Amino acid sequence: MGSALELNEHNFHEVTVDARRLLFHIPSSSLFEADANSSAVIAELRRGASPSEAELGQRLAGRLDGSQLNGVLCDLQSLDIVTRDNSGSVAVFPTVGALPLTTVVLNVNTGCNLSCTYCYKEDLAVPSAGEKMGLDTAVASIEMLLRQSPDQAAYNIVFFGGEPLSNIALIRQVVDFAEQRFKAAGKRVNFSLTTNATLLNEKTIDYLDSHRFGIAVSIDGPKAIHDRNRITIGGQGSYETVARKVGLLLSRYRSRPVGARVTLTRGVTDVKAIWHHLYNELGFAEVGFAPVTAGDLDDFNLGDEELVAVFAAMKELGRHYVEEALQHRSIGFSNLHQLLTDIHEGSKKALPCGAGYSMVAVDKDGGVNLCHRFTGSELPTFGTVQAGLDVPALEDFLNRRLDRTDTGCATCRIRNLCSGGCYHESYQRYNDPAHPVYHYCDLMRDWVDFGIEAYARISRDNPRFFADYISTRRVS
């Protein structure tokens, strides 16, 4: 009796675009055309009963001859889509090697001149009580980066807060130091920051422009939406000021595209209208959305139905993205753009993001945190920039996340794109950053399926889009 054939459902996902059948191969994040023969074999195996090759041949008689069937089975077996006698390769989870640290986030001031109602920052203070980082801590952070990971060609310094521009004096000192230090070491350095825009003026904008800062502005949409939560310490909406400053910024900023970062909280699901305002009316080059689902302040978390509505709205905007991509235009919808980039590059993410691996965040005292969201949190730090990174503790944390044994992620079809989700969401939801984020897996899977279909459609009808807009991240 021949060996029993079975489908390894968690290694592939079928997509139909118009009449074209495609297989998304999960271990390699690659898309394959599924011809009629392989589609017929998969459909037949899906009926179950673990047939032998001979039995399967009988079931498919008249459609495939013996050698065609054998060829299809060999191909599918090499992709681990079909197994014989349950002999599919056992998933081996990677372990973390040397940390390729390239990015340090500096929390230059815990103070902020806004008082956004949903802010997650545990160390947030009003400007008068804000605690600023000193130059010695910033310098020690840069030295730690070079010491820990000396062989990189380029490094990134990200300024965060509170509101980072409330400590522009330190930013200028750090830029002066870093430009000299990295040049002397024969390396490149990039700067970026996320700002609420309120403190921007011509002088600051021109300064940031001359040092090619990557800028993301926190703004939640049109006035009625933005002013619900993004308020001053005195309780006034900040939209008018922010929109005016954004106008000034976009009229003068030349060195890099400027992005908007939108926080979606309870009661806010109209993704397309927000994108329209920020992209078409204010003129941002990119708009990215961060749905809040696991914040400490339950009043601001999107409810289950709202989360469904948010993903439906993201798909609606995604369909517009695809229509425009087919006309060779990019509409700067960052969430889909990033997903298409991951698919295009065949990303196999073992970890959800670079936090704790290629990036760490430093708090005002020099404590090392996984990312900017953890500074000031109760999660213990991973060493200090003065005494050194606690590499064993970081590796232990990352290895716990890398090991998917006994987690839903082990067989999830989007495991190499989602990789268990954001550590900070896990920390807020489960008090354990290594725990996968399980509360909207179905929506995430549906969103990734949508991305695969979008990718397949664009690659069929306008493949040049990827060369011009994805590889180079060019934004119209």
| Amino acid (one-letter) located at 58 | Q
Does residue 291 interact with ligand SF4 by CB under 6 A? no
**Shortest approach of ligand SF4 to residue 188 CB, angstroms?**
22
Residues from 301 through 320 that contact ligand SF4 (CB under 6 A): none
Among the listed residues 171, 313, 422, 470, the single contact to ligand SF4 using CB under 6 A: 422
- Cα–Cα nearest to 384, from 369, 399, 404, 406: 369
Does residue 140 interact with ligand SF4 by CB under 6 A? no
Per-residue contact flags (x/-) with ligand SF4 for residues 219 to 258, judged by CB under 6 A? ----------------------------------------
Stretch that binds ligand SF4, among 263-271, 303-311, 436-444, 466-474 (CB under 6 A): 436-444
Does residue 436 interact with ligand SF4 by CB under 6 A? yes
Cβ distance 112 to 161 under 8 Å? yes
Distance between CA atoms of residues 204 and 264, nearest Å: 29
Q: Which is nearer to ligand SF4, 193 or 414 (CB)?
A: 414
Q: Measuring CA to CA, how many Å separate 168 from each of 66, 159, 165, 201, 416?
A: 72, 10, 5, 12, 39
Alpha-carbon Rg of the chain, whole angstroms? 25
Among the listed residues 421, 429, 453, 466, the single contact to ligand SF4 using CB under 6 A: 421
- Provide the 8-state DSSP code for 367: B
Distance between CA atoms of residues 140 and 334, nearest Å: 33
Distance between CA atoms of residues 219 and 109, nearest Å: 20
Does residue 418 interact with ligand SF4 by CB under 6 A? yes
Distance between CA atoms of residues 309 and 9, nearest Å: 28
Q: Measuring CA to CA, how many Å separate 351 from each of 346, 397, 401, 403?
A: 15, 11, 7, 10
Stretch that binds ligand SF4, among 152-160, 165-173, 235-243, 433-441 (CB under 6 A): 433-441
Q: Which is nearer to ligand SF4, 187 or 435 (CB)?
A: 435
Secondary structure of residue 22 in the 3-state scheme: strand
Among the listed residues 424, 429, 435, 457, the single contact to ligand SF4 using CB under 6 A: 424
**Shortest approach of ligand SF4 to residue 308 CB, angstroms?**
15
Among the listed residues 338, 438, 446, 462, the single contact to ligand SF4 using CB under 6 A: 438
Stretch that binds ligand SF4, among 48-56, 158-166, 222-230, 367-375 (CB under 6 A): 367-375
**Shortest approach of ligand SF4 to residue 422 CB, angstroms?**
3
Does residue 289 interact with ligand SF4 by CB under 6 A? no
Task: Output the DSSP codes for 385-408.
Answer: TTTEE-HHHHHHHHHHHH--TTSG
Does residue 26 interact with ligand SF4 by CB under 6 A? no
Q: Is the peptide bond before 295 cis (omega within 30 degrees of 0)?
A: no
Q: Which is nearer to ligand SF4, 252 or 400 (CB)?
A: 400
The C-alpha angle with vertex 274 and arms to 273 and 278, in degrees rounded to 5, equals 120
Does residue 177 interact with ligand SF4 by CB under 6 A? no
Among the listed residues 441, 459, 460, 475, the single contact to ligand SF4 using CB under 6 A: 441
Does residue 451 interact with ligand SF4 by CB under 6 A? no
Does residue 444 interact with ligand SF4 by CB under 6 A? yes
Quote helix, strand, coil % in the chain, to nearest 5.
Answer: 45, 15, 40
Interface with ligand SF4: number of residues (CB under 6 A): 23
Strands 103-107 and 82-84: unpaired
Does residue 64 interact with ligand SF4 by CB under 6 A? no
Q: Which is nearer to ligand SF4, 271 or 370 (CB)?
A: 370
Among the listed residues 155, 423, 450, 455, the single contact to ligand SF4 using CB under 6 A: 423
State the CB neighbour count (10 A cutoff) for residue 449.
17
Q: Which residues contact 6 (CB under 8 A, 6 or more apart)?
A: 45, 50, 82, 83, 86
Tell me whether residue 460 is exposed, middle or buried, using C-beta atoms within 10 angstroms of its C-beta: 0 to 12, 13 to 18, 19 or more.
middle
Among the listed residues 171, 278, 437, 458, the single contact to ligand SF4 using CB under 6 A: 437
**Shortest approach of ligand SF4 to residue 263 CB, angstroms?**
12
Does residue 373 interact with ligand SF4 by CB under 6 A? yes
- Provide the 8-state DSSP code for 411: G
Does residue 111 interact with ligand SF4 by CB under 6 A? no
Residues from 394 through 413 that contact ligand SF4 (CB under 6 A): 408-409, 412
Record the tokens describing residue 196, joined without a space: 């609420």
Does residue 121 interact with ligand SF4 by CB under 6 A? no
Q: Which is nearer to ligand SF4, 200 or 412 (CB)?
A: 412
Strands 286-291 and 388-389: unpaired
Does residue 371 interact with ligand SF4 by CB under 6 A? yes
Residue 98, φ and ψ in degrees, nearest 5: -60, 140
Q: Where are the alpha helices (DSSP H) in 253-390?
A: 271-275, 304-326, 334-344
> What does the binding site for ligand SF4 look like in residue numbers (CB under 6 A)?
352-353, 355, 370-371, 373, 408-409, 412, 414-415, 418, 420-424, 436-438, 441, 444-445
